[in-house]
Structure 1
């Protein structure tokens, strides 16, 4: 086997003439193999690296080895034998028979012919027939177009190109076509074996990129990126990166790519990995139905994948309209694109027969040649215009993704046009087909190189010159990764590798990522323990001992960037026992003391995470008064009415009121206002005042805490960037600080909440703005403490430093809570 990569010359840009009746370029099969019958070899990203067939099978094979698109009619008629043959195999153009108009004696391996003509091959016994080719050279070129759009739009435009949608569609088309062929011959195979082969080939190059990104992160990215990158490395290697990003509602359209994750692009590979797990099971279900007497597998397959298409598309439209950032990465919201590729694979054989399709080099002009040529160009026009003509920001992957899917379907359905001007002529040139061989590696490496380069250059987007440099380096590394790694696992010996050998490769890949990720995480936790003695200081806690921000340098800030994951306050015990509230969908409940502990006062914390963040500030008061604190917060759900009945927060406020009525707490703590970032002010939301009034009317005391400021930038990373560039804390405050009047209302809106309380319970309001934004300036650094952990939450360290101030509020307003009976 040769591993040499492609070498280009001027002639490579030209369409090669056919030789000896063989399709042009049919010997070039780095991505699809004319004699391949394992579905994982049709992974949409392509890849390979050898210029020889993937196996050494002779040209003459028995009929058992010959496969093609599923002959659903034959399956339903029962006219297909156990070996997949039928009496008319030699004459059926859909089954590899000769075409009308083909010269006698030709040896074409065409799948698409449309009429019976005598062929010497067909006079041979079944064991001596030539094997059918399923290689589609135009799909190789389509891969190149898709990956080129992805890279160009990422590097220079920061917009969605539709290229990933095309890859999902191509992947499903080729997977389903291969499964259909194997289903027809009754050799669907074990899904476990299929999964092992697939991930044996996908993981090695991906793991190399993941490990390289981890190393680059340690030396090029700030500490705040370390822990998220460790988590994303594990998610990428185990194919749930899209689920992670969806849960975090990552903005894929963020304008500043330099602050994006270098592994963010693994979301689409994770989605494809999930499809590789699911699709064998779905086709296995079709196979089971096919064995039943009188079964109609064609109808069942269309119904199954048609229903999946419809359900997923409807869900995608809904989720895109309500939670677009989460929808972008969602597998259920993307499955319709995969199902669309499967439906085309099932329909295309009939379309080809009806329109007299031909293969390149067959010597016969296909039917509807002009229409095919036009369809290819229309598809290309639709595809390249996706991110230019359409304003797709915030609209993918809803109905708007039909645009690039339709474009890909037109190009594939058009196939070989037989014209000199058809778009397929360009797609089947040697250069685009050669570049398709490195498309998988190119997708893997281009995004990390782009993100890391822009971070080092401190630029939000690449310019013309550095953009070309990024692409050139990506091409070089992609070629090396394909040749040295990817092509090795596309060798025939890996196709037939025993299960243990495949498991060893997969296990080694996962062990390398897990070892690197958990090893680094352990090292960071050990360093954190050693530096814990330094402790935080702030202007709030110890004014006389706090260092001046001017003295704070990189490494002095508490918490360190790699400790940000620990800044979400979490109490030790999950809610249980008679004093615990009833469950609410999506709500996480935890308690300060175990369920069987004795306590003197019960305090409930409700509202969004902006209420939860102040639990550490209550710790000294809780210890003094022996409180049980039950955290009933719900992320992004303030103690207010939900915007619409279908919102996830719908009913949350009323649930809090009902649980408080049942548990009879001594105090309920809520965030009494919410900042409207678009209006740069905080307000009392609809239902917040009335909800507080309901609690006090039932004799329950309420402490409302004014919302802290929200910013358009991440305050922690802004300060960290200044410190990493040899600045001081004072420099960070000067560059990142924001006047409080520009992000908060001049008057605390909680005044209205307090005045509306009918009693007998009381409402006490607490405004911590003077501590958060001293002297009217909201700054990221006080003492050596980071005030904010992101763009809108105070850090746990800062909240802990606020204990004396919170104790003052409790002692002044609720002194009985500090007295144990």
Structure 2
């Protein structure tokens, strides 16, 4: 991302044992160009490939190199770290563009997006402004009370938060080193060892996390800091390294080639920041070290990177990174498509370049350095400073105010609805007339209308196996509810049945984890061995304390076409349950709301000029004509199928409201209110299979 320089007193350099004789301070235009190439790849891959290019990882290495090098050189000149001045210059470099983009996103959200998204945008705006967006997104991935952040116009700011946190941490480390240097003569070698040690620990943590819980690790600062420390270590070691010209040329060529091919080779969103991230990090390091030498002309890759096109892109890299993602997301949201296509993609890139250029020349440049007496420069500085200040205050007040309003007026979903006025699924199954009433839960209540485990902690976010009892705790009969959130959202119906018929409902639930016995199921977006480990322990517990029945899912939506299917991994679980002598109630999964391959929330659609029918989808798009579990289940005498599709969908259409009750609380989870209305039909099918009533 941005290159940050620091000011320091102009005290003479005081060499210490182990310090290099001459600090290296020359400007590296080739690295400015590398930043330009990296941002071009980031933008192109986001717009047209829908995947990670490795450019952000290159940014992180360069940020660590530039920032650490500037602070270390300043500390060696003045024997201390100018913490206040460093913070002031860093904020001056980073905050103005960020504030402008955040303000634009806020306005665009109000004008273009459903009002149900205002609260989430406000929360992420505050997280981005205070540089904790990465942790917000990591938590949202695990917290089922939070909306899916995958299409947030603020998602890309996670990397800025990681950098901001690194800057704070490295300044503290370097301030401590400067003190030790001044008092005890501790030189660069000791600092280098600390940086390398920290980088190795972070890398090991990233490798472990990527193998066990990729979705969290991707945003984790602890798993990302090794990339910044790689650049920081090179900045500290730079004065000692002198490479022959031929070696430098080979390093530059290899590094540039590795940067260019990183995106096509690696699926970064599912592999970084683990072992695979060594590729873009090593690529950036090779280009950096290609400038470590004396004498001779620069190699052709360095000259290419130092050319005008690359350096001009590098000059606007930071605002271009800030602008391109929200512009892309708003375009996709307005067109309803999963990708921009050639023409719209070119429009997105063109608008992003113009916005980045204007931000650089009207906001960044006037504020980067204090005015020096020229009337035009002073005027530009004042205008830009006033604009940024006003926008910052407005964004903070608006975002904080909206959050305060939401907290003061929390959406409280109904605990029970009058079945005469709000029959829900009963209206679909019986076809009975019912009076028109305002929909419940409302679009604001819908997201909060979740099953108990979401709020009481009985669905685990980690490796721990948690069990909770619902229904009738003293019941003689028992059903174990097993799986992820799509098993969980049936609990409100099972609770009612448990109380009515004396059944203990014991939950074994893990977020994002339909039970599986492989590390990376065919339907998974990333490796998730933690799910496999959890599943194995759950199966052992069920075998040790067998319930009367195990209830889990039998199908899943088809990723490559219409309808639903039975993943082969589900059959492996059925076999494991059969081997343990466990009887299974296998429930067909509920449809997911999607258009053109893009998931959407029912509440957003209803808040954005939609209605119960237009916000739904054709049944044939979501469900196969015949339950796909019928044929494979015939080979498992312990597996008995449940199918409540007719209680959720009409013969031709799956709507989002039935019987005055909102069906979905997001893109694919049932509201607790609608799940409760499904209890009679679920009970009828369970009774027919078990013979309990």
Residue of structure 1 equivalent to 2:397 = 512
Matches for 1:218-233 after TM superposition, within 5 Å: 218-222=110-114, 225-233=117-125
Contact 1:320 1:328 in 2 (8 A): yes
1:441 to 319, 322, 327: 319
Partner Cα distance (1:150, 1:315) in 2: 25
Distance of aligned partners of 1:590 and 1:477 in 2 relative to their CA distance in 1, 3 Å threshold: farther
Partner Cα distance (1:467, 1:220) in 2: 19
Partner Cα distance (2:611, 2:394) in 1: 42
Partner Cα distance (2:424, 2:233) in 1: 62
Deviation at 1:270, TM superposition (A): 1.7
Distance of aligned partners of 1:273 and 1:743 in 2 relative to their CA distance in 1, 3 Å threshold: farther
> What per-residue deviation string (whole Å, max 9, x for no partner) do you get for residues 642-691 of structure 1?
659963452556458759978x99x7763264548468126755455665
Deviation at 1:269, TM superposition (A): 1.0
DSSP-derived class of the 1:461 partner:
coil
Q: Do structure 1's residue 212 and structure 2's residue 97 form an aligned pair?
A: no
Partner Cα distance (2:466, 2:130) in 1: 26
Deviation at 1:173, TM superposition (A): 0.5
Q: Do structure 1's residue 401 and structure 2's residue 401 form an aligned pair?
A: no
DSSP-derived class of the 1:448 partner:
helix
1:262 to 126, 147, 153: 153
DSSP-derived class of the 2:131 partner:
coil
Matches for 1:500-649 after TM superposition, within 5 Å: 511-512=396-397, 514-519=399-404, 521=406, 537-541=423-427, 543-544=430-431, 563-570=445-452, 574=456, 585-587=463-465, 606-608=481-483, 609-621=485-497, 624=500, 631-638=507-514, 647-649=530-532
Distance of aligned partners of 1:160 and 1:815 in 2 relative to their CA distance in 1, 3 Å threshold: closer
Where does structure 1 lack aligned partners over 5 or more consecutive residues?
A: 1-29, 39-60, 81-91, 96-110, 112-132, 251-257, 356-367, 494-503, 697-701, 757-763
> What per-residue deviation string (whole Å, max 9, x for no partner) do you get for residues 104-148 of structure 1?
xxxxxxx4xxxxxxxxxxxxxxxxxxxxx5543433333323223
Instruction: Give the structure with the higher percent helix.
Output: 2
Contact 2:217 2:223 in 1 (8 A): yes
Partner Cα distance (1:201, 1:601) in 2: 67
Partner Cα distance (2:233, 2:172) in 1: 16
Q: Do structure 1's residue 473 and structure 2's residue 351 form an aligned pair?
A: yes
Where does structure 2 lack aligned partners over 5 or more consecutive residues?
A: 143-148, 372-388, 521-527
Contact 1:333 1:397 in 2 (8 A): yes
2:237 to 328, 344, 347: 347
DSSP-derived class of the 2:551 partner:
strand
Distance of aligned partners of 1:282 and 1:773 in 2 relative to their CA distance in 1, 3 Å threshold: same
CA RMSD of aligned residues (A): 5.1
Residue of structure 2 equivalent to 1:107 = none
Matches for 1:423-502 after TM superposition, within 5 Å: 423-428=301-306, 433=311, 435-487=313-365, 490-492=368-370
DSSP-derived class of the 2:359 partner:
helix
TM-score by length of 2: 0.74
Contact 1:640 1:688 in 2 (8 A): no
Q: Which structure has the bigger radius of gyration?
A: 1
Partner Cα distance (2:567, 2:245) in 1: 64
Partner Cα distance (2:509, 2:287) in 1: 51
Deviation at 1:722, TM superposition (A): 7.8
Partner Cα distance (2:162, 2:497) in 1: 48
Partner Cα distance (1:449, 1:640) in 2: 38
Distance of aligned partners of 1:263 and 1:722 in 2 relative to their CA distance in 1, 3 Å threshold: closer
Partner Cα distance (1:137, 1:802) in 2: 65
Contact 2:255 2:284 in 1 (8 A): yes
Moved more, 606-615 or 311-320: 311-320
> What per-residue deviation string (whole Å, max 9, x for no partner) do you get for residues 704-754 of structure 1?
351414659479728779878977644555546436436842528677777
Deviation at 1:797, TM superposition (A): 3.4
Residue of structure 1 equivalent to 2:386 = none
Deviation at 1:300, TM superposition (A): 3.2
Deviation at 1:348, TM superposition (A): 1.6
Deviation at 1:168, TM superposition (A): 0.5
Deviation at 1:275, TM superposition (A): 1.4
Contact 1:227 1:521 in 2 (8 A): yes
Q: Do structure 1's residue 94 and structure 2's residue 22 form an aligned pair?
A: yes
Contact 1:704 1:765 in 2 (8 A): yes
Residue of structure 1 equivalent to 2:172 = 281
Residue of structure 2 equivalent to 1:37 = 7
Matches for 1:160-179 after TM superposition, within 5 Å: 160-179=52-71
Residue of structure 2 equivalent to 1:49 = none
Distance of aligned partners of 1:672 and 1:230 in 2 relative to their CA distance in 1, 3 Å threshold: same
Partner Cα distance (2:251, 2:158) in 1: 31
Distance of aligned partners of 1:541 and 1:425 in 2 relative to their CA distance in 1, 3 Å threshold: same
Contact 2:32 2:314 in 1 (8 A): yes
Contact 1:716 1:788 in 2 (8 A): no
1:337 to 219, 227, 233: 227
> What per-residue deviation string (whole Å, max 9, x for no partner) do you get for residues 350-380 of structure 1?
12xx35xxxxxxxxxxxx5566556545543
Contact 1:611 1:705 in 2 (8 A): no
DSSP-derived class of the 2:585 partner:
strand
Distance of aligned partners of 1:187 and 1:798 in 2 relative to their CA distance in 1, 3 Å threshold: farther
Contact 2:60 2:228 in 1 (8 A): yes
Distance of aligned partners of 1:673 and 1:350 in 2 relative to their CA distance in 1, 3 Å threshold: same
TM-score by length of 1: 0.64
Deviation at 1:486, TM superposition (A): 3.9
Partner Cα distance (1:777, 1:753) in 2: 32
Aligned pairs, number: 649
Deviation at 1:772, TM superposition (A): 3.6
Residue of structure 2 equivalent to 1:146 = 38
